[in-house]
Amino acid sequence: MAWALKLPLADEVIESGLVQDFDASLSGIGQELGAGAYSMSDVLALPIFKQEESSLPPDNENKILPFQYVLCAATSPAVKLHDETLTYLNQGQSYEIRMLDNRKLGELPEINGKLVKSIFRVVFHDRRLQYTEHQQLEGWRWNRPGDRILDIDIPMSVGIIDPRANPTQLNTVEFLWDPAKRTSVFIQVHCISTEFTMRKHGGEKGVPFRVQIDTFKENENGEYTEHLHSASCQIKVFKPKGADRKQKTDREKMEKRTPHEKEKYQPSYETTILTECSPWPEITYVNNSPSPGFNSSHSSFSLGEGNGSPNHQPEPPPPVTDNLLPTTTPQEAQQWLHRNRFSTFTRLFTNFSGADLLKLTRDDVIQICGPADGIRLFNALKGRMVRPRLTIYVCQESLQLREQQQQQQQQKREDGDSNGTFFVYHAIYLEELTAVELTEKMAQLFSISPRQIGQIYKRGPTGIHVLISDEMIQNFQEEACFILDTMKAETNDSYHIILK
């Protein structure tokens, strides 16, 4: 049985009127929000929508990275919120880093069943030390001959293939691994943070380092050069058991703080997650200060006639320049910024060519990058070099040179004029003004090891030989010229150098 509700006539009139009014209101919405009223961009520009938009995480934070690296060491509790985590390590202790395959199903299928290569580095966190990294590492090599900054504990590591450590790169190790298999590498850091502080009077804070991992896949030629992923974390290295004491001290300090103050700091995590970063630029350095442990297979000295002078004029090393040119493309400019430690500004200068960067004034660069990095970038763009503290010029003496000098003196006596003999001098630039530095620069000039140079003398009054000291070098005149003579040492295969 069907029931039908019949409305009175008056109610039907009222209902039809409401429907017409509702239709009219709907049709008027589009007319009121016409070209002259509101737009969606205006609505989204309201402060309430801006606040909600700023609270949303950016897309890259939700992005799942192909790999994840976990350092099995606790983070410090004395790090403020929104700051990067800091992890304390003990010198020489083995720490595990787990290499995790974090890919989704079907992501990067080209590496399925294949190996990838990861390069581990321990680098400086501070920009000032990054700029002088090569000099800092060479100084560490000099003080710690035969030691390395970073090593792999191979017996404890799992899943690594063909681990390698380049003897010339003390802070770098590399190996191959299969993402489909369990991989854990144990690393040892042998330098401590206080070894690179400016003043060493005791009690000073050590400089922070970074552990960075760059992973590459194989290209068509079988070379691991195609970049996949990079991540890093901040660490400080202490003497054995020093990291444990520092962690305990930080924990006790945090326990004494009020609950309100504790809210400003991060909690301490049992492990350290390495965060994504830009790949480390590959830079080829020129060894300007040879290590005393280096043994050259080709000696430039030979026992000839007279007192054992070098048998040929050395060729100066070719200068290495990395100046930005106006013809540099935007892609090449990005690589130049990476090589010169300006990775944080690559996004700002994405579409800048070499000409665009060179047109920037000093004020423009400082306004974009800040005072410290701005001045450094401006000097790098203009190719400004730091002037050495002392410059001297040296020329090797040989039998031909002596004969030419005798002929020149004889010609002067005959006609009082020079015969225009051309002598080649080489510039030596000194920064520390020490006898050790002069020995190193002399060895570099002759392409030999510093150990092959016994003593350096300066010819004094009546032909005496005065031993070169730091104080004597500090009193050298700027752009002084010397002729080098060599004398075979009696005890070993080294040589004495005489400055005339």
User: What does DSSP assign to residue 339?
Assistant: H
Considering the entire predicted model, what is its pTM? 0.47
pLDDT tens per residue, range 180-229: 999 999 999 999 988 887 665 556 678 899 999 999 998 888 889 899 99
In a domain, 12, yes or no: no
Range of the domain at 348: 330-382
| Cα gap 148→140, rounded to integer Å | 9
In a domain, 47, yes or no: no
In a domain, 139, yes or no: yes
Query: The tokens of 462 are what?
Result: 């009546």
Q: Is the domain of 226 the same as that of 341?
A: no
Whichever domain contains 123, its CATH number is: 2.60.40
Q: Is the domain of 400 the same as that of 265?
A: no
Which residue bears the tokens 């392409």? 447
In a domain, 21, yes or no: no
Q: Is the domain of 72 the same as that of 138?
A: yes
Q: Which residue, 254, 276, 298, sits at the end of a domain? A: 276
Distances in Å between the Cα of 230 and the Cα atoms of 121, 247, 472 are 11, 27, 50
Q: Is the domain of 429 the same as that of 340?
A: no
E strands in 299-415 = 390-396
> How many C-beta atoms surround the C-beta of residue 391 within 10 A?
14
Q: Is the domain of 247 the same as that of 138?
A: yes
Q: Is the domain of 182 the same as that of 254?
A: yes
| Cα gap 369→380, rounded to integer Å | 13
Mean pLDDT by 10 residues, the chain (500 residues): 45 51 48 42 41 39 78 92 92 94 84 92 85 81 85 92 88 93 94 79 77 92 89 93 92 90 90 90 45 33 36 42 78 85 81 87 85 85 74 74 62 55 79 86 82 85 87 88 82 79
Task: Give pLDDT, residue 275.
Answer: 92
Q: Please name which of 80, 70, 75 lies closest in space to residue 236, comparing C-alpha atoms.
A: 75
The total number of structural domains in the chain stands at 3
Q: Is the domain of 191 the same as that of 335?
A: no
In a domain, 6, yes or no: no
Query: The tokens of 43 are what?
Result: 């609505």
Task: Give pLDDT, residue 335.
Answer: 85
Q: Is the domain of 165 the same as that of 87?
A: yes
Burial (CB count within 10 angstroms: exposed 0-12, middle 13-18, buried 19+), residue 332: middle
Q: Is the domain of 115 the same as that of 185?
A: yes
In a domain, 249, yes or no: yes
Task: Give pLDDT, residue 431.
Answer: 81
Q: Is the domain of 351 the same as that of 400?
A: no
Q: Decide: helix, strand or coil at residue 408.
A: helix
Whichever domain contains 427, its CATH number is: 3.10.20
pLDDT tens per residue, range 121-134: 999 988 778 877 88
User: What does DSSP assign to residue 57?
Assistant: P
In a domain, 343, yes or no: yes
Q: Decide: helix, strand or coil at residue 34.
A: coil
Q: Is the domain of 80 the same as that of 225?
A: yes
In a domain, 36, yes or no: no
Q: Is the domain of 223 the same as that of 345?
A: no
